[in-house]
Amino acid sequence: AAFTNLLFENNNISNIVYEQGQIVFTPATTGNYYIGFHGHSPANTFYLYLDTFSIVLNVDSMNPPTNLTAEVINNTYVFLSWNAPSNTLNRDLLGYKVYRDGVLLQTINDPATTFYNDLNVTVGTYSYTVTALYTAGESIPAGPVSATITPPAYPPTNLTAQVQGFNVILNWQSPALTLVGDNKLDSSYRDRNLTGYKVYRNGTVVTTITNPSTTTYTDQNLTSGTYSYTVTAVYTYGESAPAGPVSVTIIPPPPTDLTATVQQNNVTLNWVSPQLPTELFIKAGSSTQDRALTGFKVYRDNVIIATITNPLTTTYTDQNVPNGTYIYGVTAVYPNDESAPVTVTVTVDYQEPQIVFEDGFETYENFALVFPPWSLYDVDQSGTYGINNVIFPGSESPMAFIIFNPSATTPPMTSVAPHSGSKMAASFAAVNPPNNDWMIAPKVHLGTASSVKFFAKSQTDTYGLERFQVGISTSPNIDLSTFQIITTGNYVEAPTQWTEYNFDLSSYNNQEIWIGIHCVSNDAFIFYVDDFCILSIGGYIVSNDDPTVPVLNTGLYGNFPNPFNPETTIR
């Protein structure tokens, strides 16, 4: 190429040692430049030497942007931001160029714009750089910074919660698939890898499920209260947004079917145990023990009146309740909880029954075998056992009952005492057992709220306890075959301590009845009865022209004194 521009000329080189020379020039345009040296000395001169040639490019510095960052927004686009160059060195800043993976993405012609949204991204990782544009050219790049777009983290669907006792059962479905085109899976869905789920209660993780095919969880042994649940899907690259929330309220199961029966001034409650899951009902030795039913509490007008510690007991009788209307409630009790009450309204309108007939056997002669108005029947007609080393009138006689005064025997029986006073009715064991002896109270007309009560005991249990029945007859006259036994079972055994027996006669209200005590002991010893009482509202003793009924078929076997019977039978 031709050299067209003279940059430097020296026509008088007289130095014989090397001297440095320098030329500074500014190219007019961008392009290729050729630099050459032309020696042109006069004739008859010697040598011209040139050595150590160099060319130095003297270009002003162009600073790049600073603090370049890349942020993925909602996993859908990349937000780039940066700061302007710290010093433009008096050059005019024109704007910026944004590169993605080394390819120009955008030219920004406004130097005040220091951000860029890359909206055209799919799943993958991207590298970004940004340069500054000056009038003199383009700076070196700021960066690189990277950003990763992950596949969509789809959450579970159809989350439900069901309360069962003190447990909450959660169910959900796997994340829904995104279909595009002709029912083909979105490639981003194929790229992801579901690894399981996380279950949250009130914002706190309660379990992590590592099997993605498991879509249920039971949160166990909760206390009463309200709970909020969410479930997220866990992927190899992260966690989805939550499914839910769903809220449930735990209420300790109460008893059901509470009923109340009023009998005189007593209220009997009955109910059904709470319907708990089988594994929670009275179950010990496991984590569910603190949720097991432990019993019940009974309330009357919101005041506790009984605590039942046996969860199998589902009845309670409130006795001697004053007249009035009450609200009874029964709650189920758990180790750390108590249910709401099941309630029933009860009205008690009890009129205290009057005494129609009572007898403590104090007005009769000692050791009488006949003592009207009682009717006595010795059906077995057997002689009776006496008492060892004790003498009293009528000892060993055939008898039904005898007015027995232990303080009047010879010697007095200090170890035996009536329930009250000094006398009581007694039936001695038949020598030819079993006993078949009746003691029948005078005929009475019952009104309402009727009952009969008395005290009874056995002399000893050495030969077995004494046995008795209570019978009721509505016949006009005494007929033993018409008596209906109202005691439970074949007989009642009287203990060796005075025990009160009370029998409801309401089914015989407004009727005339006979009440009989029937001794059916089998080779025992002595059966005692004391403080007999018939109660009824509006009841009365029926008039009887001949209230005294003689003892049936009683002979003088062993009657004291008995000169005709030299032998005695004693115990």
The strand pair at 484-485 and 466-473 is best described as: antiparallel
* Least confident segment among 33-37, 108-112, 275-279, 436-440: 275-279
Residues in CB range of 191: below 8 A, 6 or more apart: 123, 151
Model pLDDT, residue 281: 41
The strand pair at 179-180 and 184-185 is best described as: antiparallel
Position 82 confidence tier, pLDDT thresholds 50, 70, 90: very high
Model pLDDT, residue 564: 33
* Least confident segment among 146-150, 258-262, 370-374, 430-434: 146-150
| 459: helix, strand or coil | coil
Mean pLDDT of 94-103: 96
Instruction: Indicate if the pLDDT at residue 536 is higher than 90.
Output: yes
Q: 419-433, pLDDT tens digit by residue?
A: 999 999 999 999 999
Model pLDDT, residue 251: 85
* Least confident segment among 16-25, 204-213, 241-250, 530-539: 16-25
Mean pLDDT of 359-363: 98
Answer for the pair 275, 257: CB distance below 8 angstroms, yes or no.
no
Instruction: Indicate if the pLDDT at residue 357 is higher than 60.
Output: yes
| 289: helix, strand or coil | helix
Report the DSSP beta bridge partners of residue 391.
Answer: 410
Position 31 confidence tier, pLDDT thresholds 50, 70, 90: confident
Residue 455, amino acid: F
The rounded percent of the chain whose pLDDT value lies above 70 is: 87
Answer for the pair 146, 70: CB distance below 8 angstroms, yes or no.
yes
Q: 150-185, pLDDT tens digit by residue?
A: 888 889 999 999 998 789 999 999 997 544 444 444
Instruction: Indicate if the pLDDT at residue 551 is higher than 60.
Output: no
Residues in CB range of 159: below 8 A, 6 or more apart: 170, 171, 172, 229, 230, 231, 243, 244, 246
Model pLDDT, residue 59: 54
Instruction: Indicate if the pLDDT at residue 546 is higher than 60.
Output: no
- What phi and psi, each to the nearest 5 degrees, are found at residue 552? -75, 120
Specify the higher pLDDT residue, 90 or 381.
Answer: 381
Instruction: Indicate if the pLDDT at residue 282 is higher than 50.
Output: no
* Least confident segment among 79-93, 144-158, 317-331, 335-349: 79-93
CA 275 to chain centre: 11
CB-based burial of residue 544 (10 Å sphere; 0-12 exposed, 13-18 middle, 19+ buried)?
A: middle
Residue position matching structure tokens 């009865």: 529
Angle at the Cα of 516 (from 511 to 519), degrees rounded to 5?
A: 160
Model pLDDT, residue 276: 66
Model pLDDT, residue 569: 56
Q: What is the mean pLDDT of the chain?
A: 88
| Rounded CA separation 514/261 (Å) | 28
Q: 42-80, pLDDT tens digit by residue?
A: 887 777 888 888 887 655 568 999 999 999 998 889 999
Report the DSSP beta bridge partners of residue 78.
Answer: 72, 118
Mean pLDDT of 346-374: 96
Q: Which domains, from first to last, does the chain contain?
A: 157-250 (2.60.40.10), 256-348 (2.60.40.10), 355-541 (2.60.120.200)
Instruction: Indicate if the pLDDT at residue 491 is higher than 50.
Output: yes
**Per-residue buried b or exposed e for 480-510, using 16+ beta carbons within 10 Å of the residue's own CB:** beebeebeeeebbebeeebeebeeebeebbe
Model pLDDT, residue 327: 98
Instruction: Indicate if the pLDDT at residue 403 is higher than 60.
Output: yes
Structure tokens at 35: 């630099």
